[in-house]
Amino acid sequence: MNRFARLIWVLVMLLTITGVQAQKSLDKKILLTVGDEQVTVKELVDVYKKNNVNNEMIDKKSFEEYVDLYTNFRLKVLEAEQLKMDTSKAFQKELSGYREQLAKPYFTDDKVSEELLLEAYNRKLKDVRANHILIKVNKDATAADSLIAFNKINDLRNRILKGEDFGKVAMESSDDPSARDRDAVPNQSPFRPGNKGDLGYFSVFDMVYPFENAAYNTPIGEISKPVRTDFGYHIIKVTEKSDAVGIIEVAHIYVAMTPGSDSAILVEKKDKIDNIHKKIEEGMSFEEAVRQFSEDRGSASRDGKLSKFTSSRIVPEFVQAVKTMQVGQVTDPIQTMYGFHIIKLISVEKPGTFDEEKEKLKERLAKDVRSKKSEEAVIQKIKKESKFKETKASLVAFIAGLDTTLTEGKFNATSLRASRNTLFTLGKEVYTDGQFASYISKNQSKQEKITPEVYAYKLYDGFVTENCLAYEDSKLETKYPEFASLMQEYRDGILLFDLTDQKVWSKAVKDSTGLVAFHEANKANYVWAERADATVFTVTNPDDAAAVKTILSTLNDDAAIVEKFRTDSIQSVRIQTGKFEKGDNNYVDMTEWKTGLSGELNSTVDKNIVFVNVKAILPPQEKALAEAKGIITSDYQTYLEKQWIEELRSKYPVTVNQEILEKVKAKY
């Protein structure tokens, strides 16, 4: 068992014997004392009850056994503490890692997270097709630069609302280069026609969150208000919303055509794809047509199959085609910017139920910027509970003193680290401009197209967020008794694991001398029952059975038998040699359990014929260490643990208040 598996085992054990110590109404009477640690009646009774899933009455004997089990647990933890194992760097690092994971649920807003999850699922059920126009502006631009970009996009929106064509305006004015035609570059790239702002189909997570919001919230045919993303300002025209196609697999027959080809080539290519389609209609299989005619040689070797795709990963013409198709259906020829295609639908995987999709959506949400909404809600809650108070004048004065060394990534905080001007408070904690200066030094990077003031406020937001989270993290054990209890369980679990590994698990494996001595002292516990030293011959071809039987009747040496099978070209025999106890092999059990060759034994599940040659019947005998090392090692571990517990009980005083114990037993 590896370290992780053992630790999980230890923690499972602890979860059944600890975790209720934080309950408020504990009975104060002391039932058990281990060293200097006192354990109350309520602690032990509640802990014991956790193991009685059906809330059964406490059995007197089993409760006493449980007191003994709990005592052993506390003794081991006490010993680990006395050895100062809880102060080692390795222990602290491991516990810190577990704490980080256990604390995560306290830094998400359940309501916001659930709303985001439901929103993502509902959007996963729909595909959107939209056009957009982009006016670029840096995400950290000044208010003045942002206003210029906003006014420009708003003017374009007004022009379209007054009747101008969206695609034409996109080609003329959008900062998205894909909107307009791109000329061919010799030996580099072919001519590419502009998409006039058409983004094709997309679904949840395919676009940045603000853009996705605007697209899903804009009615079909209407133009959104300007929406800001990290790229700049957009206006969006939604042209279609339809049920999600899901995950699609298709095969295609492809006739290539260079974008911008003249009309003669267009007619030629169109005739070719039409003729291929006609052959399919006349009876040629789609797969044969792929092999003979498709110009996509990469997919031709796979009967035309393409990699599975979603709506955002393929040209929109494919999505339009498959939306109305049935599996196995073949389309008429369709044209895309790449040429002509005949499509066959292979499979469709539609979105599942909310419960089926939930875990995958959670993973996507955790990696998406929208997860910040949950964090923002938590930050606001922390600020409210801690009575967050900001000293605006100190912040403004500090930022006013910054210069371009900040945006150059060369800010030096040396002269400011000792400053004590308050920027904000959380509870009784004070956060100063000197601390902010140190934060800037650690987190600054070179910036372009942004002023020192804007960048400073951005860093300040990070400084506030980091300290709000750290403040809340420092209060978790105080605010949430269940978290404190869980951390105690993990702490004790790691200590128990590490010390038990040293004293029992690893020691039993490494202590070869001790293991040999243990085996010698306990040989009588490891004994083979009566065994048959035998060879089992399984004939898989019944036609060979007679020849095999003749060979086995004349030869007794396994090596000679194998050689005879080889020279006679008998290849249908499986051979198993060993020493078999009753129950080890069904066919050996079917013999008379005496030396000699058995008759034909027939399988009950197939046509195999089996012969068993029993060479000797071995009387019961002691097992060598190598023959039972696994079970002997396990027993040695049990022996070591028992010895260890005896040592601990002699080292640390253990007292059970028998009077109180009897009262507890009588009560139940």
The CATH number for 571's domain is: 3.10.50.40
114 within domain boundaries: no
Which of 258-262, 391-395, 428-432 has the weakest average pLDDT?
Answer: 258-262
Cα–Cα distance, 120 to 365 (Å, whole number)? 8
Q: How many domains does the chain have?
A: 5
**Same domain, residue pair 226 and 167:** yes
With bands split at pLDDT 50, 70 and 90, how would you rate the model's confidence at 83? very high
10 within domain boundaries: yes
Q: Report the predicted TM-score, pTM, of the whole model to 2 decimal places.
A: 0.68
User: What is the 3 state secondary structure string of 556-611?
Assistant: CCHHHHHHHHHHCCCCCEEEEEEEEECCCCHHHHHCCCCCEECCCEECCCCCCEEE
Cα end-to-end span (Å), the chain: 39
**CB-based contact 205:96 (threshold 8 Å):** no
309 within domain boundaries: yes
How far are the Cα atoms of 36, 139, 253, 290, 308 from residue 343, in angstroms, in the given order? Answer: 79, 42, 7, 11, 13
Residue position matching structure tokens 């909310």: 354
**Same domain, residue pair 275 and 344:** yes
**Same domain, residue pair 41 and 73:** yes
Quote the tokens at residue 404: 């371009």
The radius of gyration computed from the CA coordinates of the chain, to the nearest angstrom, equals 39
Crossing angle of helices 110-124/354-367, nearest 10°?
Answer: 110
Per-residue pLDDT reduced to its tens digit, 590-637: 999 999 999 999 887 788 999 999 999 999 999 999 999 999 999 999
146 within domain boundaries: yes
How many other CB atoms sit within 10 Å of the CB of residue 627? 13
The residues facing 102 across adjacent strands are none
How many other CB atoms sit within 10 Å of the CB of residue 571? 10
**Same domain, residue pair 471 and 486:** no
Which domain does 50 fall in, by range?
Answer: 3-105+481-504
Residue 587 exposure: Cα atoms within 13 Å on the Cβ side = 26
Nearest to 492, CA basis, from 1, 34, 20, 95: 95
Q: What's the mean pLDDT in 380-386?
A: 96
Q: What's the mean pLDDT in 423-427?
A: 97
Q: What is the chain's mean pLDDT, rounded? A: 90
Of 68 and 665, the structure prediction assigns the larger pLDDT to 68
**Same domain, residue pair 461 and 570:** no
Q: Is the pLDDT of residue 14 over 70?
A: no
**Same domain, residue pair 197 and 253:** no
Cα–Cα distance, 118 to 331 (Å, whole number)? 36
**Same domain, residue pair 448 and 398:** yes
Angle at 606 between CA 604 and CA 609, to 5 degrees: 80
With bands split at pLDDT 50, 70 and 90, how would you rate the model's confidence at 188? confident
**Same domain, residue pair 472 and 427:** yes
**CB-based contact 256:339 (threshold 8 Å):** yes
Nearest to 134, CA basis, from 200, 178, 185: 178
Phi first, then psi: what are they for 577, rounded to 5°? -115, 140
How many other CB atoms sit within 10 Å of the CB of residue 270? 15
Phi first, then psi: what are they for 389, rounded to 5°? -135, 125
Cα–Cα distance, 352 to 246 (Å, whole number)? 9
Cα–Cα distance, 328 to 333 (Å, whole number)? 16
**Same domain, residue pair 101 and 158:** no
**Same domain, residue pair 150 and 213:** yes
**Same domain, residue pair 402 and 345:** no
Cα–Cα distance, 515 to 521 (Å, whole number)? 10
